[in-house]
Chains A and B, each alone.
Chain A
């Protein structure tokens, strides 16, 4: 069955960077785009960007341009999301999620807490 397993919770200080991983299994890794979506406490879903695992091309939401980098490693079926210059407003659960016309499968989420 399809599984997206994310790395564990992180606590970071303002100004630092965080890198979250997402390992896919149960399907052909290069067949589905991978999205990153975040959800601040008590808030709605926010789309951050997408990576094509096949060629590595990316597209980021304007809000995160210059601060987010998405990469992939096809040898381990893993995608990564790195967010830099963290601020308190970046405290959220970060999800990786795969799909093409809709987001079919979601990881379990990674809580990133930004606090001094």
Chain B
């Protein structure tokens, strides 16, 4: 159960769009449509932003969107805002267990 691969950091200016990738294998990301994305601010519990690849929970801004192609899932944040600065984690189901990515620190310049 190796961790999914995410870039350590990404950055963007307010109003811009950024994309965070999450690469796994055919046994996890590529094999199931159970990819989720979480936002975590310092000292806080994670918050679900996207589930089942591209679905947004109630209350999550439509500036957040998810997609998947093959073994790589992506989270796109459009119209970047200062409050989006946080750590982001992907997660995938994989045969009776779950696995997280290593996390990506998003900096809003």
Contacts and interface: CB of A to CB of B under 8 A. Distances in A.
Contact of B100 (A47, A50, A62, A108): A47
A106 B96 contact: no
Contact of A101 (B34, B46, B102): B34
Provide the main secondary structure of the chain B interface.
strand
A55 interface: no
Interface residues of B, number: 26
A99 B50 CA distance: 13
A47 B48 contact: no
B48 A99 contact: yes
B45 A35 contact: no
Contacts of A35: 98
Contacts of A47: 91, 97-100
Given A99-B48, A103-B48, A45 B98 contact: no
A45 B98 CA distance: 11
Interface in A64-116: 95, 97, 99, 101-104, 106-109
Contacts of A95: 45-46
Given A45-B91, A101-B52, A106-B46, 15 more contacts: A37-B46, A44-B3, A44-B89, A45-B38, A45-B40, A45-B89, A47-B91, A47-B97, A47-B99, A60-B97, A61-B97, A95-B45, A102-B36, A102-B50, A102-B51
Interface of B: 1, 3, 34, 36, 38, 40, 45-48, 50-52, 55, 57, 87, 89, 91, 96-103
Interface of A: 35, 37, 44-47, 49-50, 59-63, 95, 97, 99, 101-104, 106-109
